[in-house]
Amino acid sequence: MYRYYAMLFEMKAQLLDIFRRRHACHRFDPGRDIPRDDLEFILEAGRLSPSSFGLEQWKFIVLTSPQDKLALQAACFQQPQVGTASCDVVILAKLADMHPDSPYVQRLLIREYPGEQLAGALANYRGFHAATDVAAWSVTQCHIAAANMMTAAAGIGIDSCAIGGFKADEVARLLDLEPGRYAVALVLALGYCTEAAGEKLRLPLSELVEYR
């Protein structure tokens, strides 16, 4: 039992260390590429993320060519981390596939709610879909995947920067997205930072948490 609690203590310390080390990198080393297996590890962390109704609202587009990264940088208000990153992951939020009658929703709801559960789950989802800003909801789900990917990257010594400032129409044009099928949720730049991380500054829990 002692070994079990010691292991938990160590695991908690390791996780907090990863969160403390993770920072927004503003300039990457363009000469260092992320190994393919490390990139797939990060993408797998995104794939395994939780999602509302289990609908996995995300799609990941990985850009690695210098030309594509520079074009994306232009669409992101010329933020240098986009162009210098080893790769940029454009996270797309599914829109059309979120319709209750889409084959995608039907397939995933059957998986999440098998047998007699399906009818009630589908009725519940129809009501939710009709009352919800679907695009905003789908984008927020993608942010969950992005957070897990950044934490996974930090855990294996890879830096990241979440880019929320972009011209969505230009990014969509660059990726040749079908209108109405996806919304651009976030750009995640990944690579190796050229500058040391500064002190991590956060408000204390006492200012953020209220127990009731």
Q: Which helix (H) or strand (E) holds 91?
A: strand 87-94
What's domain 24-52+59-97+135-196's architecture?
3-Layer(aba) Sandwich (3.40)
Per-residue pLDDT band for 77 (boundaries 50, 70, 90) equals very high
| pLDDT score recorded for residue 2 | 78
pTM over 0.75: yes
| pLDDT score recorded for residue 54 | 95
What's the mean per-residue pLDDT of the chain? 96
Report whether pLDDT(76) > 90: yes
CA dist., res. 55 & res. 52, Å (int): 6
Q: Taking a C-beta distance cutoff of 8 angstroms, is the pair 141, 58 a contact?
A: yes
Separation in Å, CA 92 to CA 39, 99, 187: 18, 16, 9
- Give the alpha-carbon dihedral of 62, 132, 53, 211, to 10 degrees: 100
Q: Which two tokens stand for residue 108?
A: 């995933």
Q: Taking a C-beta distance cutoff of 8 angstroms, is the pair 18, 71 a contact?
A: no
Q: Residue 187: which of 60, 25, 56 has the closest Cα?
A: 60
Q: What is the pLDDT of residues 123-181, one digit of tens each?
A: 999 999 999 999 999 999 999 999 999 999 999 999 999 999 999 999 999 999 999 99
- Dihedral class, residue 78 (left if φ above 0, else alpha if ψ from -120 to 50, else beta): left
| pLDDT score recorded for residue 1 | 78
CA dist., res. 93 & res. 143, Å (int): 10
Q: What is the pLDDT of residues 80-112, one digit of tens each?
A: 999 999 999 999 999 999 999 999 999 999 999
| pLDDT score recorded for residue 31 | 94
Q: Taking a C-beta distance cutoff of 8 angstroms, is the pair 34, 188 a contact?
A: no
For the chain, domain boundaries = 24-52+59-97+135-196
* Range 36-49 average pLDDT: 98
